[in-house]
Copies of this chain bind each other. A is one copy, B any other.
């Protein structure tokens, strides 16, 4: 797998005038190499939703870091939420892993929203029917595996992005907007995941007239062939 680099970016904002986001997202190292990003959106918003989404994300990252496979971790999180909240509270769950053992990206969904996979020519949506966790016993995730190769770009998000503009009846055509971002490559330079996550989020906030109607999280991951050095880097910006 020499000569590739994975770049992962998250952009996240809260519903207008709320201090707690119902979305949770964490990135962890996998015990056998690679990383996983785990994103959950708890039903409703505010404190209750935050508790649910962080409970789900915590459970999943704890299992992943012990070497449990992604699908089994999602099922365990579902059973756990179902038991804790007696089937009354749901949460969407996405896990995307860079798995160095299989040299694949593993995409796990318990979320009606699609995961978008972009290549040079087209954007394909993984949008087979998938339900949130927590409402039923034995809820299974959908799992897709994609080989790690340069040019791969994956984008996923919580429903705040999809509902942006609903106050004024506008909608964000995410796929078209993403395509335009990718086409905007300047001087052969590929659009970075951070630019993609930031632009999608900024456009959504604009459609919501600067006051997001819901928490919004966008995650973008790319695989490139450029490798500057063998240094791992992680960066967090946290407005207080």
Contact = CB atoms under 8 A, between A and B. Distances in A.
Contacts of A26: 28-29
A234 B27 contact: yes
A29 B198 CA distance: 20
Q: Which 10 A-B residue pairs are closest in the complex by CB-CB distance?
A: A10-B234, A233-B237, A8-B236, A6-B238, A1-B240, A12-B232, A4-B240, A235-B235, A9-B235, A58-B65
A176 interface: no
Interface string A9-46: 11111100001000011111101011100000000000
A8 B148 contact: no
B227 A194 contact: no
A7 B236 contact: yes
A5 B238 CA distance: 6
Contacts of A28: 26
A146 interface: no
A231 B10 CA distance: 10
A62 interface: yes
Nearest to A219: B234
